[in-house]
């Protein structure tokens, strides 16, 4: 098993990759202009990622002035509904997320299934309007992060422990795969179908940075077989029989949430 990265080195690397992603997928989209390319395809050529839909414009604007938080802005960062944030009770704690601590602890037990801990705007309200978020992913041996897409952001995956096999498919239906070790990064372009697989015998762990505070997630297996699409439609679409479709549905349909009991 590859050696785990030090937390200090990891923090520096993540800071750099977050800034890069925010510049592409964040609030500075006014610096991009549409291309006249009629094919409108994402492709990768010569090892360089190309998206002809947008080209970097030459009319770069000066960076915005430093942000000063007003009472209204600060109030939006408070994750506790019962607390009205004001300039007197806002502290650095409002801009701090502790959700990864236990999973990154050396004493943390290895999970039995693939798990993900998100630090998006939903879990970390201070990310609002900052065009960045993270996810901590843990992969037991033989586990997979199933095929999915992020409709609002690219993803930059950093392997921090173990090894992973990853890949994505572009809009020309070309597959790109790579085996990664601890310290390696891989970018999944926005909107592409992608996955990660731990085919080894040791656990693996990775951190993903997104160029959006709410990157979104569309899981292909669950979306196709777990949302109630008609069995015949699915059978004809995948050239399978209805019995096979029903088995897939039984395995992939999320359990119904139980209604909360009234007190």
- Whether residue 182 is predicted with pLDDT greater than 90 in this model: the reply is yes
Instruction: Determine the Cα–Cα distance for residues 193 and 176; give it in Å rounded to an integer.
Output: 11
- The average pLDDT across 174-202 equals 97
Most confident region among 95-109, 195-209, 243-257 by mean pLDDT = 195-209
Which tokens sit at 98? 């502790």
- Predicted pLDDT at 27: 42
Question: What are the residues facing 216 on neighbouring strands?
Answer: none
Cβ of 89: how many Cβ atoms within 10 Å?
A: 12
Q: Give the CA count within 13 Å in the CB-facing half-sphere of 70.
A: 2
- Predicted pLDDT at 62: 60
Q: Closest by alpha carbon to 184, among 202, 166, 197?
A: 166
Residue 59 · residue 245 · CB < 8 Å: no
Instruction: Determine the Cα–Cα distance for residues 167 and 200; give it in Å rounded to an integer.
Output: 16
The answer, as to whether pTM is greater than 0.85, is: no
What is the tens place of the pLDDT at every residue in 235-252?
A: 999 999 999 999 999 988
- Predicted pLDDT at 260: 58
What is the tens place of the pLDDT at every residue in 57-77?
A: 445 566 665 555 554 555 444
Which tokens sit at 9? 């080195």
What is the tens place of the pLDDT at every residue in 108-167?
A: 888 899 999 999 999 999 999 899 999 999 999 999 999 999 999 999 999 999 999 999
- The average pLDDT across 165-175 equals 96
């Amino acid at each position: 098993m590859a050696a785990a990265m030090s937390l200090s080195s990891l923090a520096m690397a993540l800071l750099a990759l977050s800034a890069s992603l925010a510049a592409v997928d964040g609030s500075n989209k006014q610096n991009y202009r549409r291309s006249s390319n009629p094919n409108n395809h994402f492709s990768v050529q010569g090892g360089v990622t190309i998206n002809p839909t947008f080209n970097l414009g030459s009319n770069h604007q000066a960076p915005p002035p430093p942000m000063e938080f007003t009472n209204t802005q600060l109030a939006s960062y408070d994750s506790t509904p019962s607390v009205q944030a004001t300039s007197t009770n806002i502290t650095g704690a409002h801009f701090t997320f502790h959700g990864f601590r236990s999973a990154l602890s050396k004493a943390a037990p290895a999970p039995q299934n693939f798990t993900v801990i998100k630090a998006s705007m939903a879990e970390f309200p201070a990310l609002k309007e900052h065009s960045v978020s993270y996810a901590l992913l843990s992969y037991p041996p033989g586990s997979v992060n199933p095929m999915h897409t992020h409709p609002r952001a690219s993803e930059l995956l950093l392997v921090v422990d173990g090894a992973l096999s990853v890949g994505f498919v572009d809009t020309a239906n070309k597959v790109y795969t790579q085996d990664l070790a601890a310290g390696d990064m891989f970018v999944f372009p926005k909107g592409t179908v992608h996955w990660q697989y731990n085919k080894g015998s040791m656990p693996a762990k990775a951190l993903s940075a997104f160029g959006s505070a709410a990157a979104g997630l569309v899981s292909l297996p669950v979306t196709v077989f777990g949302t109630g699409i008609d069995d015949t439609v699915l059978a004809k679409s995948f050239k399978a029989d209805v019995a096979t479709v029903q088995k897939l549905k039984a395995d992939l349909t999320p359990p119904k949430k139980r209604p909360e009991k009234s007190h």
